[in-house]
Amino acid sequence: MAADSEPESEVFEITDFTTASEWERFISKVEEVLNDWKLIGNSLGKPLEKGVFTSGTWEEKSDEISFADFKFSVTHHYLVQESADKEGKDEVLEDVIPQAMQDLLCMNNDFPPRAHCLVRWYGLREFVVIAPAANKDVVLSESKCNLLLSSVSIALGNTGCQVPLFVQIHHKWRRMYVGECQGPGVRTDFEMVHLRKVPNQYTHLSGLLDIFKSKIGCPLTPLPPVSIAIRFTYVLQDWQQYFWPQQPPDIDALVGGEVGGLEFGKLPFGACEDPISELHLATTWPHLTEGIIVDNDVYSDLDPLQAPHWSVRVRKADNPQCLLGDFVTEFFKICRRKESTDEILGRSTFEEEGREIADISHALSKLTEPAPVPIHKLSVSNMVHTAKKKIRKHRGVEESPLNNDVLNTILLFLFPDAASEKPLDGTSSTDNNNPPSESEEYNLYNQFKSAPSDSLTYKLALCLCMINFYHGGLKGVAHLWQEFVLEMRFRWENNFLIPGLASGPPDLRCCLLHQKLQMLNCCIERKKARDEGRKTSTSDNVTNTYPGDAGRAGDQLGPDNLKGTEKEKGEVGKSWDSWSDSEEEFFECLSDTEELKGNGQESGKKGGPKEMANLKPEGRLCQHGKLTLLHNGEPLYIPVTQEPAPMTEDLLEEQSEVLAKLGTSAEGAHLRARMQSACLLSDMESFKAANPGCFLEDFVRWYSPRDYIEEEVIDEKGNMVLKGELSARMKIPSNMWVEAWETAKPIPARRQRRLFDDTREAEKVLHYLAVQKPADLARHLLPCVIHAAVLKVKEEESLENISSVKKIIKQIISHSSKVLHFPNPEDKKLEEIIHQITNVEAMIARARSLKAKFGTEKCEQEEEKEDLERFVSCLLEQPEVLVVGAGRGHAGKIIHKLFMNAQRLTESSDEAAGMAPPEEELKRMGSPEERRQNSMSDFPPPAGRELILRSTVPRPAPYSRALPQRMYSVLTKEDFRLAGAFSSDTSFF
Amino acid sequence: MDEDVLTTLKILIIGESGVGKSSLLLRFTDDTFDPELAATIGVDFKVKTISVDGNKAKLAIWDTAGQERFRTLTPSYYRGAQGVILVYDVTRRDTFVKLDNWLNELETYCTRNDIVNMLVGNKIDKENREVDRNEGLKFARKHSMLFIEASAKTCDGVQCAFEELVEKIIQTPGLWESENQNKGVKLSQREEVNGGGACGGYCSVL
């Protein structure tokens, strides 16, 4: 088809394409694609290095063309190479045969472990395939096949493309290709035979040699030598039982009630089935010549044990069932459930309580409503507790989701303090539970936003995971959660601290649920201190109270929002406040010894100026260094102050929103400062109480020392004197500091209005907990579960020491920390993390399986052991591993043994039980000669026989150029294929 | 104006009391200077939209009180911040020395580790400098922070400081995008991990 017009010609010649057929158009499209991809002309690359097909990178380019309305995809596959010398590219090498033809003979990359089939069959480094674009489309009829092949031939001829061009015919799964490669005066035809049944004469070398020779039809005698490469692949599927040590966990034992409390803190690990399904041993004779060996239908020299090359690859079980992965996945599924706890458990449990319904439901409605009024005075505690018992009893009769033994074990595991004799003695529980571990591993929680691995939250997550998997699924989860919430309430009502939580304000680096629990603990701590304080100082209650302005400012904007702003310095940790009568705004500070001392000293000498000079100092914490009050030289005391109000992140969010909403105007800023001045005011009052007759200057020296400026001045007498004054900004008339100072009355912290209402906060937390659905709960705790899973994987990996797994774990950690830091991570991302964890688990399980199979642990010689370990780790990471020393090497012997044992088993399965250990087996075998005789039967018949026959022969006539000829044959159980590439000289034909 | 805003960034200003945090902020947002600005109580808040490299970013800037006693309160505001401006007073060495404490605090309370930190040496208009520029530089380098010296009074470096910080934040991947915007990065990695799988033309013989 002459596509190029010649406009420069004098006579206008019209080239008419209007009548071009579909076929012509198809060919021109093929040419166009070849041109676009610059596959024209001869470019010789470097000779192929050994193994480059495996180690190098393969790339492909695709395009789509159509023949009428039938779509084909054209794909160019090529090995990426450093661009060969550029001069060579443009040179027109007349005599040189195309690269592809030369590659037919190259022996460096026979039998690549993983490659495109055309690469395997023909040893090509570059080729183009035209195949039906849609998967279901098929080119079946012979005439169509021929048409395609002719198109290819024409396109190659027209363009001068020397890259082999293939067409895929028949059904795709058959992988049938025909193709052609053209060079100057030479052509190679790629042909293929694919049969399901093998004709008998082709199962062995001699038969195949016959075909090859007849195909070549060489006119020469004697025939040029044929080089032969052979690979037999043996498959080992039948691992003996004892090679896979891991048993699935005994679930019955767990259910049976003999649950060690510890079991609940642990995650299961490992694959339930052997993650290595097959071992493939490839025995290769890379270079034989005809006549050296005999292989025909009655006799064969091809003894696998004698093969010069052995290589092994393992087939991994697809998605082996892995315990840890399943565990986490199942837990993750809860996140998508919509049911509420009540819906799952059914309300009936409460309704059947008869007479007590009213009381209990009343109590519970308290639970489920926001409780603006502190209700702790009600005897909810008792009610709930009896209700709890009843629920348990009740469930014991009917089928409850969790049986009592399991439930009790879990509760004991979560709340170990409940087991101790004096549950009331809850003071020590928190302090001892948190060994400050600074290790990187321990601090993982702050990357995952989960909770410390020794915390209650973390344990709860693990328990729920376990329950979900083994004990009643979603129902069990709902049940445990209900019990957990009841326990929380019980602890709040009865002043038992919650164990397993770091003391102090909520840790914002942890998950919200953990923060909530910490918050509850803070409330319990305060309430407890207050209640105990009341016991000790029964009659000492304060009556004259000041409704301090502190609280007022906050009330304007809703009391909740003020809490955080009123935080105070935490360093007064030693002293602890006890609170007076709970629902009043005032609290009582237990007088500590320090204060008493100060009191005694001060009470005598008083006489400062101002109105409060006669006041008795109250609420002193300690002396502030050597500072003294300005007016009278008395020591300056740091007062006992109200402790900061703990905040969880959602409260904080709310509060900062409120503060931000005030806007950026001056009034807004003023209001904001006012809102937050409660704590300043409270501190001022405490300070005034502790330092009777003090000035703002005194206060500033403690509170904001840089705002008190001291200068050395020389007084009238010529002495250097320190003279100090407030900074300019503190002196601004009626600034908020001055304002607050003027309003502040000398009231010790214990009698001030409470800045933190523990009762209300506790009820809010309890309510929050009660309304969490199992799905919410799962979302709260998923970070903990992922955290635990990562730790588990890490721990297991450290036993095996697999570097690639280490790397992946690191990736998982950094990936998860990114995902989990967002408030609502996408499901897809979470799934991906879980998937990655499962993958790592499978990898570790594979490593274990292989180590067990190859007995790396049993190996006594250090050197051999190292070699073997290296071999095993290569097996995991590389597609195919060469066995050093083939059948005679250490690893080779073990593989031989494995096959031998498997053969024994199939031969007589009865003997399986009484089989001798492999070590003795080898000894018994005796000398190598003896063994050799046996070895044929040591292996099963090869699952795959591959042969490559090569020669350089002139075709079609004796005087033609000698050109590469190649035939590849593969024979497997259900498949026989011959792939031939036969070149001929086209110069005179 | 909000429609074309690329993102909203949360920025925090911290440092010892009296180093000029509020003044810097006031200079930046209102371009004024008030020598008698009252000491901040708790936290204060200002908003400004700026444009960096054609990207508009809305800044929600939280100004904090530097007093020790307020310090138990302010860390709560570190949460979710993308940038932190740590200020010291070049005329008061003690405010420079205390920087370590502030960094500790940041480390403890910041909820993310890729947050961008900037060190600002304020009050360079004053005569009695006590902290050399090089010291500031050294400190910033040691802790991988941005560094600039500025004066809220004369306006030197203020605008520049905020712009630089925002630019840096925008350049830091994953720091400011909403979670939907950074998808599809990990795919290739995962495929590699998987290895095997179905035969896509590349396969072994068995």
Query: What ipTM score was computed for the predicted complex, to two decimals?
Result: 0.81
Q: Which of the residues A111, A656, A826, A833 would you substitute to probe the B interface, choosing the one with the greatest number of B C-beta atoms within 10 Å?
A: A656
Q: Residue A956: is the preceding peptide bond cis (ω within 30°)? A: yes
3-class SS of residue A864: helix
pLDDT for position B14:
92
With beta carbons under 8 A apart, name residues in chain B contacting A972: 205-206
| Closest chain A residue to the Cα of B37, Cα to Cα | A729
Judged by CB atoms closer than 8 Å, whether chains meet at B206 and A570 is answered as no
Q: A645-654, A936-945, B171-180: lowest mean pLDDT where?
A: B171-180
Q: Above pLDDT 70, what percent of chain A?
A: 75
Which of B29, B71, B205 comes nearest A233 by C-beta? B205
pLDDT for position A348:
46
In a 10 Å sphere around its CB, with 0-12 CB exposed, 13-18 middle and 19+ buried, how is residue A291 labelled?
Answer: exposed
Q: A5-19, A272-286, A440-454: lowest mean pLDDT where?
A: A5-19
pLDDT for position A127:
92
Q: Cα(A23)–Cα(A29) distance, rounded to whole angstroms?
A: 10
Model confidence band, residue A920 (pLDDT cutoffs 50, 70, 90): very low
| Spatial CA neighbour of A761 closest among A587, A562, A572 | A562
* Helices and strands, counts by H and E, chain B: 6, 7
Judged by CB atoms closer than 8 Å, whether chains meet at B18 and A706 is answered as yes
With beta carbons under 8 A apart, name residues in chain B contacting A640: none
Q: Cα(A131)–Cα(A176) distance, rounded to whole angstroms?
A: 10
pLDDT for position A83:
59
- Which residues pair with residue B165 across a beta bridge? none
pLDDT of A528 > 60? The answer is yes
Q: Cα(A142)–Cα(A538) distance, rounded to whole angstroms?
A: 107
| Mean pLDDT, all residues of chain B | 78
Q: Is the dihedral of CA A5, A9, A11, A12 positive or negative?
A: positive
Query: What part of A 400-419 touches B (C-beta under 8 Å)?
Result: none
Q: Which tens digits make up the pLDDT trace of A322-336?
A: 888 888 888 888 888
Q: Which tens digits make up the pLDDT trace of A859-872?
A: 777 777 888 888 88
pLDDT of B159 > 90? The answer is no
Judged by CB atoms closer than 8 Å, whether chains meet at B206 and A233 is answered as yes
Phi-psi region of A501 (alpha: psi -120 to 50; beta: other; left: phi over 0): beta
Number of Cβ atoms within 10 Å of the Cβ of B30: 12
Q: Cα(A810)–Cα(A790) distance, rounded to whole angstroms?
A: 10
Q: Which residue has the higher pLDDT, B4 or A67?
A: A67
Q: Which residue has the higher pLDDT, A27 or A573?
A: A27
pLDDT of A429 > 50? The answer is no
Tokens of A535: 């016991």
With beta carbons under 8 A apart, name residues in chain B contacting A825: 179
Residues A120-146 have a mean pLDDT of 88
Cα A449 from chain centroid (whole Å): 14
Q: Which tens digits make up the pLDDT trace of A533-544?
A: 776 655 444 433
Which of B16, B44, B190 comes nearest A832 by C-beta? B190
In a 10 Å sphere around its CB, with 0-12 CB exposed, 13-18 middle and 19+ buried, how is residue A69 labelled?
Answer: exposed
Q: Which residue has the higher pLDDT, A245 or A888?
A: A888
Which of A116, A569, A730 comes nearest B202 by C-beta? A116
Provide the shortest C-alpha distance from residue B14 to chain A (in Å).
15
pLDDT for position A559:
39
Angle at B200 between CA B198 and CA B203, to 5 degrees: 75
Determine contact, residues A218/A953, Cβ cutoff 8 Å. Answer: yes
Give how far Cα A356 sits from Cα of A360, A362, A386, A479, A556, Å. 6, 10, 10, 21, 41
Q: Which tens digits make up the pLDDT trace of A700-743?
A: 888 888 888 888 777 777 777 777 888 888 888 778 888 888 88
Model confidence band, residue A517 (pLDDT cutoffs 50, 70, 90): very high
Determine contact, residues B19/B88, Cβ cutoff 8 Å. Answer: yes
Q: Cα(A809)–Cα(A793) distance, rounded to whole angstroms?
A: 8
Three-state SS string across A296-311, please?
A: CCCCECCCHHHCCEEE
- Count Cβ–Cβ pairs < 8 Å, chain A vs chain B: 143
Q: Which tens digits make up the pLDDT trace of A283-315?
A: 999 888 888 888 887 888 888 888 888 988 888
Judged by CB atoms closer than 8 Å, whether chains meet at A704 and B196 is answered as no
pLDDT of A670 > 70? The answer is yes
Model confidence band, residue A497 (pLDDT cutoffs 50, 70, 90): confident
Residues A43-59 have a mean pLDDT of 82
Half-sphere exposure of A326 (CA within 13 A, CB side): 15
pLDDT for position B71:
77
Which of A120, A664, A821 comes nearest B111 by C-beta? A821
Q: Cα(A109)–Cα(A87) distance, rounded to whole angstroms?
A: 27
Cα-only R_g, chain A = 43
Query: What part of A 88-117 touches B (C-beta under 8 Å)?
Result: 111, 113-117
In a 10 Å sphere around its CB, with 0-12 CB exposed, 13-18 middle and 19+ buried, how is residue A888 labelled?
Answer: middle
Provide the shortest C-alpha distance from residue B120 to chain A (in Å).
19
pLDDT of A641 > 70? The answer is yes
Provide the shortest C-alpha distance from residue B52 to chain A (in Å).
22
| Mean pLDDT, all residues of chain A | 75
* Cβ of residue A443 closer than 8 Å to a chain B Cβ: no
Model confidence band, residue B88 (pLDDT cutoffs 50, 70, 90): very high
Q: Cα(A410)–Cα(A403) distance, rounded to whole angstroms?
A: 11
pLDDT of A530 > 60? The answer is yes
| Residue spans per domain, chain A | 22-195, 327-540+760-782, 554-580+585-643+672-754
Q: Which residue has the higher pLDDT, B151 or A382?
A: B151
Q: Cα(A504)–Cα(A506) distance, rounded to whole angstroms?
A: 7
With beta carbons under 8 A apart, name residues in chain B contacting A808: 193
Determine contact, residues A175/A972, Cβ cutoff 8 Å. Answer: no
pLDDT for position A931:
43
Q: Which residue has the higher pLDDT, A979 or A557?
A: A979
Residues A22-29 have a mean pLDDT of 88
Q: State the pTM of this model.
A: 0.70
Q: Cα(A576)–Cα(A581) distance, rounded to whole angstroms?
A: 16
Residues A225-246 have a mean pLDDT of 74
pLDDT of B54 > 50? The answer is yes
| Closest chain A residue to the Cα of B43, Cα to Cα | A673
Helices (H), B120-157: 133-142
Q: Cα(A249)–Cα(A252) distance, rounded to whole angstroms?
A: 9
| Spatial CA neighbour of A489 closest among A406, A366, A582 | A366
Give how far Cα A711 sits from Cα of A81, A492, A721, B36, Å. 78, 54, 8, 20
Judged by CB atoms closer than 8 Å, whether chains meet at A652 and B203 is answered as no
Judged by CB atoms closer than 8 Å, whether chains meet at B18 and A673 is answered as no
Residues A692-698 have a mean pLDDT of 86
Cα A667 from chain centroid (whole Å): 49
Q: Which residue has the higher pLDDT, A944 or B114?
A: A944
Model confidence band, residue A130 (pLDDT cutoffs 50, 70, 90): very high
Residues A616-634 have a mean pLDDT of 80
Tokens of A600: 């005694």
Determine contact, residues B22/B45, Cβ cutoff 8 Å. Answer: no
Query: What part of A 936-965 touches B (C-beta under 8 Å)?
Result: 943-944, 946
